[in-house]
Structure 1
């Protein structure tokens, strides 16, 4: 398996798990953009937003419920947070497995 996220799901690589269920897993990101930075990913290998198929709708729904659960666990459900997903080279997607960054813990500004 060449995908680091698939290896984390298979427990072949270590990660500090925040939340896990049948179709979704969340763990701390390695590059922190804010005091709170977690990744929420589907366990099914989907390369990017552009590769989601109709049959993936329940998995994507469960990712969104995962955002809520992770935000509560990390204490940013009331103060607010941002969900980011990068797609493709120009979107700076570094790992070709759909993943969402949940960031918060301070007031976030928009910088490009």
Structure 2
């Protein structure tokens, strides 16, 4: 997708503050952090939203969560606690239409969010 911000990051057109990278996943710091640790974990392959996922994407979604765990460990928030969030659609706050998992931590997170 030529107009997708995250696809441009994956292609190397935009340099992120990378935290973790695998063959299929890229994790980088959010440019508008909502917590001391706020990392976005994205698949390198474009998938517009949760609604676009298919059964064939199950392993990739699992990789996103394993990468989130690795990010939490690397950032030192695994033991104290962290939140993972994936928004779906404008009404839920999705602003970049390429699935991404937010990893938030480093402070107490209240509930409910929003």
TM-score by length of 2: 0.95
CA distance in 2, matches of 1:103, 1:40: 11
Shift of 1:93: 0.7
For the aligned residues, what is the CA RMSD?
0.8
Indicate yes or no: 2:27 matched with 1:40. Answer: no
Secondary structure of the structure 1 residue equivalent to 2:77: coil
Map of 1:63 onto structure 2: 64
SS for the counterpart of 1:79 is: coil
Q: Tell me, which stretches of 5 or more residues in structure 1 are unaligned? A: none
Runs of 4+ aligned residues of structure 1 deviating over 3 Å after TM superposition are none
Q: Give the total of aligned pairs.
A: 112
Residue 81 of structure 1 corresponds to: 82
Query: Using the alignment, how far apart are the partners of 2:69 and 2:86 within structure 1?
Result: 16
1:31-90 deviation per Cα after TM superposition (whole angstroms, max 9, x unaligned)? 111111000011110111111111111111111110111001111010000001111111
The alignment partner of 2:91 has SS state of coil
Unaligned 5+ runs, structure 2: none
2 CA distance for matches of 1:89 and 1:44? 21
Q: Which residue of 2 aligns with 1:19?
A: 20
CA distance in 2, matches of 1:24, 1:18: 11
CA distance in 1, matches of 2:23, 2:57: 14
